[in-house]
Structure 1
Amino acid sequence: MKNFMIKISLSLTLLFSIVIYSKTVYGEEISEKNFQVIAHRGDSGNAPEHTMVSYELARRLGADYIEIDLGMTKDGQLIAIHDSTVDRTTDGNGRVNSLTLSQIKELDTGSWFNQQFPNKANPQYIGLKIPTLEEIIDHYKDTINYYIEVKRPEDNPGMADELLQVLNSRHLIENNIPRGKVIIQSSDAESLKYIHSQYPNLPLIQLGSYTNRMDLPEISKYAIGVGPELTTVNKTFIEKAHSNGLIVHCWTVNNQADMEKMIDWGADGIFTNYVGLAVNVKLADRTAPVIPTIYTISNQSTSIMGTAESKSTVYAWVGNKMLGKAVASNEKYSIKISKQKAGALVSVYSVDAAGNKSGSKTGKVVDRTAPVTPTINIISDQSTYIAGKAELNSKVFAWV
């Protein structure tokens, strides 16, 4: 019985350790504040993917990580490229592993972007070169965080060893380097298990296109997290991954609604082609209710109406005086007020049930006492009168 209890205690300790290990990869508890924005091939929505221009744009926009897909040349050099061929992103053709580095360096990897996205074209993109992993690291050193993918190891024997050699020679996987400075991802579990056997403390992410094919307990033995494809992810999967001590970095998330959904569901980060948008979503105050709108208020109005989040309380003010309040229902509100002078500035804001306050919306009171400006029909040099439209019982004056 005593031995049984010891085994249970050890098992619980191990499980707790796994959860803490995954939760503190970045040196602090996972939360919306440290939600990771991973620049997918750099800021590839606005610049040619896997170029120094794309990486630099992502860095300046505030990406937490720069993602680098690895290819291996015929002469064993690691370069930044997604595809197995150079056809799509250069002016050349052929498989990456059948070309030498010198041959690849002759290719233009920027002009294709200008041709495909003329509204984002930039003359500086013409003639850009594919960088090697060493060139990228030598340029940035330890000033950025690297998210590196081991791609197609079956076509590139020795890729994992070459990657570890480069990282080791640049002092990026030493014990004194903060955990998470480099994260390695792959769809190939065997490559990740091999890397884990060589560097047990190096954070690894298991990629997968389908969440229902991910064996989370097994993955947790060698990786800190999973990288599922966006359309296969739901909140339940994220919670299940977390319960197995795994973080979730979802790919590829390119619109605001999906970014907000990932944060709301508790994902720990996203890969995105649009770093600036993702950083803005990440930094937005997601607890405050949406700012209410105001319909037109005239100096004859006896109420303020507009839209606001249902069940939030909307307050109306003019200067330092509160005009009234009302609870929004079906995303609409109506606050009874006394008539206000034309030109007065009325402001509204809302407070939700949790006490979170929105920003303010201001509207100017419109003068509705003056008659509508008369219209004039055509007047010719043969006319003996002026005709038009005006409010009934108003006097219309004509001048020349």
Structure 2
Amino acid sequence: MRVFIATLSLFSLLFPIRLISQTIPYIDWPFDQEYHDGYVVDPANEEANDIRSVQPDPKGNIWIASKGGIYRKQVDSRTWKLMINGPARGPAYDVALDGNGHIWIAAWNGVYTDLSGTLTKTEGPKGPIAVITTAPEGVYALGPPGVWLYQNEHWDKKEYAVARSIRAAVSDKQGGLWIGTDVGLYHCSSDQCILYQDTNELISAYVRGIDYHESGTIWVGGLGGITIRDQTGKVSKKRPRDGLPNPNINVIKRAPDGMMWIGTDYGISRFPGNGSTYSVRLSKRWLMSDEVRDIAFDREGNAWIATNGGVSCIRKRPMTLAGKADYFYERMIRRNLRDPWIIGRFRLTTAGDTTTIVPDDDDNDGEYNAMYLAMESFRYAATGEPEARERAKKAFDFLHFLREVTGTDGFFARTVIPADWEQMHDPNRSYTPQQQAEELIRNPRHKPVEVRWHQSADGKWKWKGDTSSDELCGHLFGYYCYYRLAADEAEKKRISRHIGLITDHLIRNNYYLTDVDGEPTKWGVWSPESLNRDPDWAPEKALNSLEILSWLKFAAKITGEEKYQQAYLQLIREEGYLENAKAILHPNPAFETYFDIFLTLYVLPALVEYEEDPTLKAEYKTLLEGWFARNRKIRSPLVNFTYNLLTGKRDELDHSITFLKDAPLDLVDWQIDNGRREDLSVVREPILEELQVNHLRPPSEYRSLRWDKNPYLAVAGNPYQEREPVYWLLPYWMARYMDLIQAKRTTKVAAHRGAGQYAPENTLAAFKKAIDLGVDFIEIDIRRSADNRMVILHDATLDRTTNGKGRVNATTYEALKKLSAGRWFDKTFADQTIPSLEELCAFVETYRQQVSSQVNLYVDCKDVNVPEMVAVLKKYHLLEGAVFYGSVQVLSEIRNSYSAARLMPGLRRMEAMDPLIEQIHPYAFDVRWDALSVELITKAHEQNILVFSDGIGPGREGIEIYRKAIGMGIDLIQTDRILDFQQAIQFAHQHDRE
């Protein structure tokens, strides 16, 4: 959808990008999005977190062998239970799963197994046992005392002549065993053991990890890298230069999809089975600790990783770019917004702990909020959503306030904070004469700013002065996008007046941004007196000349004031500012900073689009082409899409999409030390003054949370902050606006009362399973107890789904909580109780953060207290995404309590559509399955209303039926048969590709 159809022709004149829609865009298909889930086994016991091995079992439980003993985490828990206590407790070394689903554990005193149903020590192998591995013929236990095989319900000791330093073992599937030791690789069979240790056989004799590649070769890892062997001997090898971040290999495991996972002393490297480019996982973004001891995979293909600092799980879930945008946007509004409408970084009082988040100020809040303003403007232009326009206005209001709060004639602040904040960056200070001398020697342009924070006239705010050129550039980009894409006529007048006041201030002060002390700010300098006649301003001469030309051109265009055009031409003709600017294409290495790329990006659009003189326009286009040619190598979608916006091209689309897919969901600014990686080299390029790595890695491997941060940096990050995701959302919505990314209308799924095929309906177990299955909504039914407490239960009576009897509204909440809501389904769910609405919301909010889910609530309002329901959902950040189903009366009450509520009345026939639209302006219609038709769905979509339906019951369930509804264009199917739906949607996507 596009905004204001009548203005499309105007947009096509202003932005050549409209031509791009004639080329082939990227279709937004689902992809696997990875994310990290970390576990501390025991915060009070360091040895418990020193993990040697990990193994999921068929029930979804996770077993670990640690220095502190054997632990298990049950499938629905985050708590680890110590399985062996008392004198038998001690270190364990390896865990394996046999073909029958039984766990085997190598421990200090022998072997433990759950063959009998409980974990017990077996008689036979003498401890300590270092390695346990399964084979067609049985289970092998290996350690310094020897090698045993469990077969036919008893242990036999094998007479293998091998070294006692056993580190790894794997079956050859033909009755033999490969054994890795400190002195080489053994292959043992019934009649002999052959040792391979020479350098023509292995990189080195120290072997710690072994597994088979899907091609049949065997990968042998240890000190120095990986040797790849076939039946004839060594055929290849992998050393650090081939993609290993560290040459000390601890484990090699093949994933279900054929990818080879390599655990090292410094992270994980992964080699796809098809031989494409490797990827690396390290740092707290992906691992609890970088020393990796073991890797195992569960039934869903998630990787469980044993480290010397806890257990990690690298999970994956299907996601589209549109879904990723929704995830980031919802999280941003919930976690990165502070008054008066500032989207920015927040501080974590404990490093990496996202539960300790508190508001924070940033030196460049104005600049980055301008990026948010640009993002909302593109979002509005791409979708026409009123919310995007409203929030763009709020973002502009903040930038406008930054000027007003100073009480001056055009100077604007960097940021504001509430007046009662006691902690802020760059607090006011004083300088002694000696300190001032030191600063002047270091930087002769230094300005001693002792009063940086000022009180607002109304006493409500503190505002930060000494505003920089970076701020002006960022503001300009935001104003430009807002004016072009989202501002109505009234707002355009506000922008024009605001820009005029700032421009008058600059001209009146000879192009210095002048603070309340009457002096220029440290960096707000565009005056010819400095740029052209002070040699110490040579580093900023080119870029600052371009900046002020762009500001004046923008001001002249939107205000219509000739005086700004004359000032612009004077700087070009009399001061040579355009000639100055050309030097940005060949800067002196001493003057170059990485962020200059993006300051240039901020100011080029106004010059390229607004200049009408053919000669000057050609000069700016030449600058644009040269700037892009220099910077396309950084593969930034913001750089690429800005260039495409101004040229009508689609350059670097593949790299941009790769970035958007690969960028992590985790917004903690983890420190990432790529300088320690031995697959990379540390260099002084592209920026001479910084230590960087020699190759640009994918964004999941570097600090990728803001565009001003150099992606080549060897070491970067601050885990005491959580960044806002505007860096990702802005290029995404630019591409959506330009039709470079085409959002595929995808039918979503709601889990009817949770995943009722797997767990008892309307219980936390059912809701957790539904979220694990990746549903978009979980449908809940709300009723009230006799004492007016809201609980989650479908039936009006207790008889069918609990061990109680009678009506729900005749039973107190205390009595309801004593009932089992799961025993009727299966005795293993006997502990499941009837959740209260508050319990359900607390669980969903916590769990969806743990697993990076975007799930929302589909609320069937059977018997509700509307104000209380709205308050609870708001408390747990579930209100905005919730869809409410109920009677027209109840839905009207909800709208009165929350004006933006997504309401969904039932629609039984098409003739009732218009009256319902007039009555409650719904977000969606719940349409009876037998009333669905292409005509009805199309008519609803023409009114921007979605269509939901229940695929439940005879004639409404099954893959073929769901495929038919998907083909009609239905927006959501509520179902018990989640996997059937997923197969139907997968078929639809495959059919569309073909």
Shorter-chain TM range is 0.5 to 0.7
- Give how far 1:263 is off: 0.9
Matches within 5 A, 1:126-275: 126-141=830-845, 143=848, 144-153=854-863, 159-173=865-879, 179=880, 181-186=881-886, 188-208=887-907, 210-212=908-910, 214-219=912-917, 221-253=920-952, 254-275=957-978
Amino acid at match of 1:170: Y
* Superposed CA offset, 1:63-122 (max 9, x none): 0111111011111111111111111111111111111111111212212224xxxxxxxx
1:138, distance to aligned residue in structure 2 (A):
1.1
Question: Residue 884 of structure 2 aligns to which amino acid in structure 1?
Answer: I
Which residue number corresponds to residue 829 of structure 2? 125
> Aligned partners of 2:983 and 2:878: how far apart in 1?
29
Distance 1:230 1:194, change over 3 A: same
Q: CA deviation at 1:137?
A: 1.3
> Cα distance 1:136–1:258, how it changes in 2: closer, same or farther (>3 A)?
same
CA distance in 2, matches of 1:70, 1:136: 11
| Rounded Cα–Cα distance in structure 2 between residues aligned with 1:68 and 1:248 | 18
Does structure 1 retain, via aligned residues, the 8 Å contact 2:916–2:922? no
TM superposition shift of 1:42: 0.5
Please report the TM-score for the alignment, with normalisation by the length of structure 2: 0.24
DSSP 3-state at the match of 2:921: coil
Give me the whole-angstrom Cα distance separating, in 2, the residues matched to 1:231 and 1:167.
Answer: 32
Paired residue secondary structure (2:857)? strand
Does the 8 Å contact 2:963/2:988 carry over to 1?
no
Query: Per the alignment, in what secondary structure is the counterpart of residue 890 of structure 2?
Result: helix
- How far off its partner does 1:226 sit? 0.5
Deviation at 1:244, TM superposition (A): 2.6
Query: For 2:926, what is the secondary structure of its paired residue?
Result: strand
Cα distance change of structure 1 residues 171 and 23 upon mapping to structure 2, 3 Å threshold:
closer
Q: Does structure 1 retain, via aligned residues, the 8 Å contact 2:781–2:862?
A: no
Q: Trace 1:283-322 onto structure 2 (pairs within 5 A).
A: 283-286=986-989, 288=991
For 2:747 and 2:821, locate their aligned partners in 1 and report how far apart those are by CA, in whole Å: 31
1:39 is aligned to 751
State whether residues 22 and 245 of structure 1, in contact with CA within 8 Å, keep that contact through their aligned partners in structure 2.
Answer: no
The 8 Å contact of residues 70 and 149 in structure 1, kept in 2 or not, is answered as yes
Deviations 1:219-238 (A, max 9, x none): 36431110112122222211
Unmatched segments (≥5 aa) in structure 1: 1-8, 10-16, 115-122, 174-178, 290-355, 358-400
CA contact (8 A) 2:866 2:897 kept: no
Unaligned runs of 5+ in 2: 1-5, 7-380, 389-732, 849-853
1:13 is aligned to: none
Shift of 1:287: 5.1
After superposition, the C-alpha distances for 1:286-324 in whole angstroms (9 at most, x for unaligned) are 4539xxxxxxxxxxxxxxxxxxxxxxxxxxxxxxxxxxx
Contact (CA 8 Å) 1:38, 1:63: kept in 2 or not? yes
> Can you list the C-alpha shifts for 1:348-388, whole angstroms capped at 9, x where unaligned?
xxxxxxxx65xxxxxxxxxxxxxxxxxxxxxxxxxxxxxxx
**Alpha-carbon distance in structure 1 between the residues aligned to 2:742 and 2:884:** 19
Residue in structure 2 matched with residue 54 of structure 1 by the alignment: 766
Change (3 A) 1:82 1:273: same
Runs of 4+ with deviation above 4 angstroms: 19-24, 27-33
Structure-1 residue corresponding to 2:813: 101
More helix per residue: 1 or 2? 2
Are the equivalent residues in 1 in contact too, given 2:749–2:974 (CA < 8 A)? yes
Structure with more contact order per residue of length (Cα contacts < 8 Å, sep ≥ 6): 1
1:282 & 1:239 partners in 2: Cα distance? 20
Contact between 1:32 and 1:282, CA under 8 Å: does it hold in 2? no
In 2, the alpha carbon distance for the partners of 1:32 and 1:277 equals 20
Distance 1:109 1:61, change over 3 A: same
Q: Secondary structure at the match of 1:139?
A: helix
Contact 2:959 2:980 in 1 (8 A): yes
2:784 matched to which residue of 1?
72
Q: Percent identity?
A: 25
Distance 1:284 1:23 in 2: 34
- Structure 2 Cα separation of the partners of residues 30 and 163 of structure 1: 37
- The residue type paired with residue 129 of structure 1 is T
- Give the root-mean-square deviation of aligned CA atoms: 3.1
The 1:90–1:46 alpha-carbon spacing in structure 2 relative to 1, beyond 3 Å, is: same
Q: For residues 15-30 of structure 1, what are the structure 2 equivalents within 5 Å?
A: 20-21=384-385
- Give, in angstroms, the shift of residue 31 of structure 1: 6.3
Distance 1:30 1:276, change over 3 A: farther
Report the secondary structure of 2:825's partner residue.
Answer: helix
Contact 1:86/1:95 (<8 A) preserved: yes
Q: CA deviation at 1:46?
A: 2.8
TM-score normalized with structure 1 length: 0.57
Equivalent-residue separation in structure 2 for 1:70 and 1:164 (angstroms): 12
Cα 1:30–1:131 change in 2 (3 A) is farther
User: Counterpart amino acid of 2:916?
Assistant: E
